[in-house]
A and B are shown apart, each in its own frame.
Chain A
């Protein structure tokens, strides 16, 4: 049967789809091939790397550590995130709105701030808490120690909390009050209501959140490579980095470890998708605009508010204050909190004398602006193809775009590296390979925003424009893009911020000529001078927040 002959729009968009599918899937192939090749891809096949995963003691330890670390920090993130979501959305806790805002703030704050902030708070020697404890006890006392497994689990857990919060809070505020009212009328008390109705109804969101934070924690590089290495707790991401950068490098070993992360991530993402797609069974429409009766906390109101506030503040405001105060210190040591120790030298050094800072800031801004823009434009093209044209490749595109979500950052970088390093005169060593990595990793986020925005536009609005004499391109420009603007802007800002602070993805891909701000942090870190590190990370935060502060009013930050 003759169908509409392939018009050029179908053709162009179809080609973009094919390229995107290739872009997001070859890193997986590359990691697999690399892990079973003796040398570069194409050399003799071997199982030695995969065997070494379990034979080498270091690798085995890292595996066990990674499991503990991922499980621990995910559990912490779940408890804090769900707890904050319930109290912020569903109870009469004083300051509930503020808790909600504080809970998502860490998304905008670079994780590095968290790391340095918590070092400032809980370093065994010079942390504020321990100094105060020592003063109180009269002798040196170490109350808390960040350089332990518990320490890194704590920091990572706090860093992951907002992701849990967002998913669960969205579910909780969309639920149908009638269901709860029915349970109450049937005689369920508050706690039973929570345990038997409210949380079980959120099962898809809870599962999705859990799997998301598991993937994120397993592939996180920053915390393992900073506090982790300092406290000699080796994790897979830090080992992958060492195996790639040590002399002689052992890329096969790195790939095998990466493969482990990829496999883990893809299994997680499979279950996460399943949970989300079965969510329909649990989705309760109706009760539109109706508000649920908030839980009354009674006498527990204020004590619980204090606990929630402490957690909410711990993940952003407290570390930010700690970092800010550290930035003004001549030296950072016990009892350093004196006027004599105040200085602005750190700022003048980092901002004006440190040679790397402006080139890397330029690279970072270039990549963040261009990367976010490419992601959003690409997402518009893909969403149009998948949702409006329902082209033949739609299903393939939808499946392929799940891949980057499941591949932990460092493993994705490894895959991209493995494919391009073998191509002489190619992208390797340029800024473009970093751009490619950023776009590959973040196109799913853009697609979620743009896709749901496009779904929300009634197709009649476009048809009316077509019948009124405007081509599909003019319709896209005059109707769809203006209507999607909040979502486009929201996803642009989110990707911009994430690219600016992203480190796991590009740590294996940069070279001295293409260094970016976030990677530069690792150099400053290895100098070991914390006040300068504090200034540097504040700079990173300010650059990230600037456009957000300017534009947040016009943006919408949820994909629902």
Chain B
């Protein structure tokens, strides 16, 4: 990579269609620091692709500004718009977007054609790139002769060969089967550690987001819901939406009892839980919501808790290999518990649900 540059977008808005009410992007601002991987995480339709394609120049936002390094790529107010071919970016598409009428080597060499290099230099670079993604020797084949994983790597090689200023990934792994996805995720991680490059990675898979992101941005309906390091987003989602999106199953209503430093004590159906949020303004007695990850709960058959809370009946349990999911009715609230040890509970059994020792849960803003 030539030189690592920052990217930033500010005030981006986009409405598709003339009269449409839905804003694909709504005053969206975000900085993408040089050399880091920023992950845009959100459900389908929340506007992730729209951000990415705006940065690439493939769609024109209705408002806002896009900076790549210190050049203005798009500025609505100044009516500046650099076409995609002059933005010097790389992009990996969900569909791979490899050209079926070209060989593997021709696909990879394509971004170099307008670089002014000689044919021999271009061929040498393409070959080197092919070796680098571990596919040396297949340069003469056509795309339809390759597996999904190989196509993925070629798509990556093509995105990187021109030494772009940043690489944009649009759900690159979502067309692969589960095992291959796992492997490619690890390979991408290894790649990022080998050569740092600025990247923006769009996904709806929280696992990919947590593994690959230096920073994770949760998006909702064209806006930023939460941004921060993966650990923060995973452990302390700000909102119900973010909590659900990072896979937290239990959202419990509660009342603030008091606080110790940053930790707030909240009375819930599972007893008094320790939680931490992003707001400091909660007085004792305030209503609030605590997000409780199912893996941070344990279950004991027939046991009684000293504080008398968390007792309930098993509604259903499901074995799912490495763990079991148990649904417990605690005073009218259904609690999801995920336990690692194999323990199928009979429906109707009386159990006690306990929070894991020292667990600090997420106190939501809304």
Contact = CB atoms under 8 A, between A and B. Distances in A.
B119 to A, nearest CB: 16
A478 B86 CA distance: 18
Given A2-B76, A458-B97, A460-B97, A471 B85 contact: yes
B331 interface: no
B148 interface: no
Nearest to A458: B95
Contact of B114 (A3, A460, A461, A470): A470
Nearest to B114: A469
A466 B57 contact: yes
Given A2-B79, A460-B95, A466 B101 contact: no
B243 to A, nearest CB: 33
A461 B97 CA distance: 5
Given A461-B97, A479-B99, A467 B114 contact: no
B1 interface: no
Contacts of A546: none
Contact of A464 (B60, B97, B114): B97
A5 B98 CA distance: 31
B162 interface: yes
Interface string A445-475: 0000000000000101101111111110010
A469 B94 CA distance: 19
A468 B158 contact: yes
Nearest to B101: A482
Interface string A142-180: 000000000000000000000000000000000000000
Contact of B91 (A467, A478, A479, A483): A467
A467 B90 CA distance: 6
Interface in B39-89: 53, 56-58, 60, 62, 76, 79, 81, 83-89
Contacts of B158: 464, 468
A464 B79 contact: no
B89 A3 contact: no
B100 interface: yes
A468 B89 CA distance: 7
A427 B87 CA distance: 48
Interface in B286-343: none
A1 interface: yes
A460 B83 contact: no
A467 B62 contact: no
A340 interface: no
Interface in B95-153: 95, 97-101, 110-111, 113-115
Interface centre among B58, B60, B168 (most CB of A within 10 A): B58
B252 to A, nearest CB: 44
A471 B88 contact: no
A536 to B, nearest CB: 42
Main secondary structure of the interface of A (DSSP, over half): helix
Interface string A487-520: 0000000000000000000000000000000000
A464 B93 contact: yes
Nearest to A464: B97
Contact of A466 (B58, B88, B99, B162): B58
A281 interface: no
A495 to B, nearest CB: 24
A553 interface: no
Contacts of A465: 99, 110
A5 B84 CA distance: 16
A3 B17 CA distance: 12
Nearest to B168: A467
A482 B89 CA distance: 25
A299 interface: no
A458 B58 CA distance: 14
A478 B107 CA distance: 11
Contacts of A2: 76, 79
Given A482-B101, A483-B100, A3 B85 contact: no
B91 A464 contact: yes
A4 interface: yes
Interface in A1-21: 1-5
A461 B101 CA distance: 11
B88 A469 contact: yes
A465 B58 CA distance: 11
A9 to B, nearest CB: 11
Contacts of B114: 469-470, 474
Given A4-B60, A467-B58, A461 B99 contact: yes
Contacts of B79: 2, 5
Nearest to A468: B111
Nearest to A3: B60
A463 B97 contact: yes
B115 to A, nearest CB: 8
A463 B91 contact: yes
A469 B101 contact: no
Contacts of A471: 83, 85
Contacts of B98: 464
A470 B97 contact: no
Contacts of A478: 110
Interface string A1-43: 1111100000000000000000000000000000000000000
B56 A463 contact: yes
Contacts of B162: 468-469
B314 to A, nearest CB: 42
Interface string B2-25: 000000000000000000000000
Contacts of A483: 99-101
A467 B84 contact: yes
A474 B99 CA distance: 14
Contact of B58 (A3, A463, A479): A463
Nearest to B94: A460
Contact of B81 (A4, A466, A467, A479): A4
Contacts of B60: 3-4
A463 B76 CA distance: 22
A37 B115 CA distance: 64
Contacts of B93: 460, 463-464
A50 B1 CA distance: 76
A474 to B, nearest CB: 8
A387 B10 CA distance: 31
B83 A466 contact: yes
A465 B110 CA distance: 8
A489 to B, nearest CB: 14
Nearest to B95: A460
Contacts of B81: 4
Interface centre among A1, A464, A469 (most CB of B within 10 A): A464
Interface in A244-274: none
B300 to A, nearest CB: 50
A6 to B, nearest CB: 12
Contacts of B53: 463
Contacts of A469: 85-86, 88, 111, 113-115, 162
A2 B81 CA distance: 12
A1 B57 CA distance: 19
Contacts of B56: 463, 466-467
Contacts of A479: 99
Contacts of B58: 463, 466-467
Interface string A216-260: 000000000000000000000000000000000000000000000
28 contacts: A1-B62, A2-B76, A4-B60, A5-B79, A460-B94, A463-B53, A463-B56, A463-B91, A463-B93, A464-B97, A464-B158, A465-B110, A466-B57, A466-B58, A466-B83, A467-B56, A468-B111, A468-B158, A469-B113, A469-B162, A470-B110, A470-B113, A471-B83, A471-B85, A474-B85, A474-B114, A483-B100, A483-B101
Given A467-B84, A469-B114, 10 more contacts: A4-B81, A460-B95, A463-B53, A463-B56, A465-B99, A466-B83, A468-B158, A470-B110, A470-B114, A471-B83
**Which 6 pairs between the two chains have the least Cβ-Cβ distance?**
A468-B111, A460-B97, A464-B97, A466-B84, A467-B91, A482-B101
Interface of A: 1-5, 458, 460-461, 463-471, 474, 478-479, 482-483
